[in-house]
Chains A and B, each alone.
Chain A
């Protein structure tokens, strides 16, 4: 396992992996959450999408350790009698899917554009950089908000949560493109690229097989930062009612719904999704920090 990580990313990461217990805890927490969300359709106590599986009689029950709670619904129920624990698991699943999908998509867009711009230069480079500049003057959340609104206006809500994925992806590709473009420009001048071109390899092959390997360092770092940001952005959008559709609620949606019940005393509907969201963000940020500290050449 260590060798695998060492070869894929960087030998330094592998060496430091077993160093700090808190890091192992954070990694463990993330892994646990990912596993749970993948297995949710099978291990969730109730299916929150099945309208016949809950009834109003069980609505608004508190968590089991408070008077009135039952063991059946460990963390309580919402106003329709849905089990909060299952809703949390499904919400976590959606939040993580949207988060990972959007950073993968934005990495794809950003890295491709960066490679193309850095290798071919010329008008393509100029256009890409202009667009990147203009887009970067706006904060990513605002761009995501705007794009989401536009997508809704044109496509409507038939796209499910993919509209949010596209909106977030389009709002954060610039960092990848910038980093990759800079490295690509440097690598293009090196001898091995000249050799490949002399051997008449197609540009595509050169880019992917040779250059990509050497510029992929920063991608991981940017990716971890952006993962946290993507999940936050999705949660914020959903909280405002503009994110994932309410038929596929994410943690942000759950918090928004719980908000209406907070002041009448049903605090668990807001607190548990909120704590879970904060826990994810904490783990990701913590891991990102640790990763950056290790890969930071100045701290060597």
Chain B
């Protein structure tokens, strides 16, 4: 986190002069200097960095250059949209991924299995934005079932806005979540399959079979549990790439989330928003990794002893 904050601060300092970008072109020089003083830009670097850290800890990231509003406000507005999208996609992708992955590992030779495997290869290869476009084309334009952009109506609960409680919100959620999860499902299917294949060859599985356990018990209780560790790792790592793909998906569906915010920030070189987004992403990833560590211990009790 420290390194990320250093990087963000560095970018802040060296990429353009914030005051010049904020004032008109005919402001007298003296006034510009006064503004810089007030904003603390003339203090030495260490002081500025300390202020940066202090402000960040209090969630004050300054104001967006482009939109003139406090960055924190922008993020709070956009966060629920992205969060719903990402969390729903993860749940669906993990659930179906595990199911299909186990199936293709257990029936390696069937035609259905081969079809599912081909499907997962395609799911990984077709770019997210292409799938998004095609999904919009089929479901929105051709069939007219689902809305092609936006979040629908949202209900505010405190500072959180959710689309889950309105019909139009739910309908609007379907396509983006579908698009995001197809990639994830495919990845998880491939991973679970390769892990399960390795494990199913192990001796203890053969022993369980010899003991007369039902196939179902073997597959789920013994094999899957052991396959879960690398899967949990990958799912955790995928949160990062989910956030990245969410950026693309949000851009196609005009979903008002953090991804769109970030894209706009990059296009207009809006440094405060960019650095805030990066810090937030780093924070999320760190938190996810900590949660993952706890899940590891739950799945494999041996790891608890090692601690």
Contacts and interface: CB of A to CB of B under 8 A. Distances in A.
Interface in B261-288: 262-263, 266-267, 269, 274, 278, 281-282, 285-286
A153 B285 contact: no
B295 interface: no
Interface string A1-23: 00000000000000000000000
A228 interface: yes
Interface stretch (B23-31, B38-46, B218-226, B243-251): B243-251
Interface string A107-151: 000000000000000000000001000100111111001101110
A239 interface: yes
B125 A139 contact: no
Contacts of A282: 121-122, 125
Interface residues of A, number: 41
A134 to B, nearest CB: 4
B236 to A, nearest CB: 11
Interface string A208-225: 000000000000000000
A184 interface: no
B282 A255 contact: no
B296 to A, nearest CB: 18
Residue of A137, A146, A274, A286 with most partner-chain B CB within 10 A: A137
B130 A153 contact: no
Contacts of A138: 240, 278, 281-282, 285
Contact of A241 (B125, B134, B243, B267): B267
B125 A228 contact: yes
A137 B126 contact: no
Contact of B248 (A130, A134, A146, A240): A240
Contact of B127 (A139, A140, A148, A236): A236
A180 interface: no
A137 B282 contact: yes
Nearest to B285: A137
B240 A278 contact: no
A285 interface: yes
A235 to B, nearest CB: 6
B175 to A, nearest CB: 15
A52 interface: no
Contact of B3 (A130, A152, A240): A130
Contacts of B133: 255, 259, 262, 270, 274
A240 B122 contact: no
A281 B285 contact: no
A263 B282 contact: no
A294 to B, nearest CB: 14
B247 A145 contact: yes
A267 B138 CA distance: 12
B16 A153 contact: yes
A135 B247 CA distance: 19
B164 interface: no
Closest 9 CB pairs of A and B: A281-B125, A149-B266, A139-B240, A141-B244, A139-B244, A139-B241, A282-B125, A134-B3, A274-B130
Given A142-B243, A239-B127, A274-B133, 8 more contacts: A134-B4, A137-B282, A138-B240, A138-B282, A141-B245, A228-B125, A240-B251, A274-B134
